[in-house]
Structure 1
């Protein structure tokens, strides 16, 4: 499971919003400082947790850490006797574009075959600068971008796409949006977590 947490001090002071699934909330169940958010099938989509002493340097998405998960689980356990397990695997990795062809139903999309070390993925990409032979940053399904966006597999104009190729802006490396994906130097190793080397 991918657990995402968001904090907005101005709109909801002292409330940590925990997201498990991106589905509409149909009902709630509140006990003490924890509000359970439920969908139309009565399945949990997330929680609102009131934390008076929550400290963070920024609003918005709060990158998941063992400490943050421990804080969340402490409250869920105490109030609802529930606990979350987060998948801490690295889902943002280095890949290599082995093939890049034009999308059959688009004048700007490309269908790429991308080597991620243990698999070849088909990824539809709209960047003008994508090309065969490039080392690139691949956001696999279940990757969480620095803004909190969760990456899911899908289809673009009817063509299956597994993950996405990322730009510097999407990776949080620059503050102003810039067109095109991030192209890496040749010495990056395919399949390795991208942010391992950036740190």
Structure 2
């Protein structure tokens, strides 16, 4: 099972849907009908380019749902390619910062201990309003943001970080960049999926 990301920018790539399951570089391709499969150097599938049009209100990244996955798989089936299975596990969730300490190798980063319901994870954050004892939105490993950015666990200046704490801009709520995290009110439920249409901010 994988994370399937779909992009549709008809102004740039007319009549073409870009489907990615990996960020590896393209080394080879295979064409069948209106579908072009993309592979890395080890011949692992990294995505498809599909000649088709989408009726979508979104420009760029297309939020994944069952209907979109079905439409993509219909095109793959018709052209003899393996179908995709998307992992719909929520990865943008309500978190609670239990502890927040200065990063040992930075004058502006903080290391946060964040309860995300199923686990307590460590996330490095550089927002000016990050603090302990508040509810925030956490994008965990393999979360896909509204702009299509793929969040991966890693290290920030040598300190492990299991994701990202989110601002209103990063969540697609505001069109202009802000300097602080989106802080949720105390009615937020730790670990619950964060829904952009139902956010409770203070």
Say whether the fold is shared (TM-score over 0.5): yes
The answer to whether residue 41 in structure 2 is matched with residue 22 in structure 1 is no
Distance 1:196 1:57 in 2: 16
Distance 2:59 2:197 in 1: 26
- What is the CA distance between 1:80 and its match in structure 2? 2.2
Counterpart CA distance in 2 for 1:119 and 1:98 is: 12
TM-score (norm 2): 0.94
Show structure 1 runs of 5+ residues with no match. Answer: none
Provide the residue aligned with 2:49 in structure 1. 48
Distance in 1, Cα, partners of 2:196 & 2:28: 40
2: CA distance, partners of 1:85 / 1:167: 30
The match for 2:163 is 163
CA distance in 1: counterparts of 2:114 and 2:93, whole angstroms: 11
Match of 2:112 in 1: 112
Alignment match, 1:147: 147
**Aligned ranges 1:1-199 → 2 under 5 Å:** 1-51=2-52, 53-195=53-195, 198=198
Gaps of 5+ in 2: none
Aligned Cα root-mean-square deviation (Å):
1.3
**SS of residue in 2 equivalent to 1:194:** coil
CA shift, 1:41, in A, is 1.1
Give 1:81 shift.
Answer: 3.8
SS in 1 for 2:195: helix
4+ aligned runs moved over 2 Å, structure 1: none
Decide whether aligned partners of structure 1 residues 11 and 196 sit closer, same or farther in structure 2, where only a CA change above 3 A counts: closer
Offset of residue 196 of structure 1: 7.4
* Number of residue equivalences: 198
